[in-house]
Amino acid sequence: MELDKKIKRMDKRTAVVTGGSRNIGFAIADKFYKLGYNVAILSVTEIGNSAKKAAERIDDTGTRVIGITCDVTDELSVEQALQKANSFFGGIDIVVNSAGILDMSSIEEMSIEHWDRVLAINLRGTFTTIQKSIQYLEKSNAPRVINISSNAGRMGGFENGLAYSASKGAIIALTYGLARRLGNKKITVNCIAPGTIESDMSAARSPEVLEKLRQRFPLGRFGTPEEVAAAVCYFASEEAGFTTGSVLDVNGGLFMG
């Protein structure tokens, strides 16, 4: 009976996942769906309508998972996407900021334009999505914000470019600051810092770089998107109501501290 009650409570909760059409974001959206949440997948790719296709891969009925095209660097696009999710499901309880791009530029090769683009997507997009979602989250009984950072944001990274490290480190700082400032609204703000995860991002590296990276991990392997999704689900749960301003490392032991 208690389990049935819990499932009914969860059925009423809605999660918005940016960058939810593939890799870590898709695994998070899929995990939420399997746990009984409603899910809005946000993705920037208009060609092929990646958000809608991702939603249909999870639930082709269009009732509990929807896809919305959204550019997190565009304030109006974010506002409209959140409005659509709120209107369709009748509320927003959880926001997961998973949209991001990898940077592999050397210090010498880095252009200002590239630096600005990485920070616009990874950092400003995260802040804008949170800022615009507050009006919906504060109406929830258990509002949650979960940011996806990176091991590179913890200790600088090894093979990635510094725009990526800077953006992911800033997301951790942003998590701390928002957790303090949104606590009075009962909105918890937490962060996941994955190590190298099997994904399109990791596949973009050369086999030699991947092997060098793999050897640095005490567990001797890379993580999976599903392992990151499991960590996100703790922060999203109603039972995590007293956890805020936390960074959970899902990195195979690469960073400990």
Mark whether 176 is an active-site residue: no
How many other CB atoms sit within 10 Å of the CB of residue 247?
A: 16
Residue with tokens 């596949």, as numbered in its chain: 203
DSSP 31-44: HHHHTT-EEEEEE-
Q: Which of 33, 37, 136, 164 is catalytic?
A: 164
Distance between CA 44 and CA 184 in Å, rounded? Answer: 32
Element spanning 80, H or E = helix 75-89
Amino acid identity at 229: A
As a whole number of angstroms, the distance between CA 27 and CA 233 comes to: 11
Nearest to 58 by CA among 29, 88, 85, 82: 29
Q: How many Cα atoms sit within 13 Å of 41 on the Cβ side? A: 34
Task: Name the nearest CA neighbour of 236 among 223, 225, 246.
Answer: 246
Report helix, strand or coil for 164. Answer: helix
Catalytic residue IDs: 164
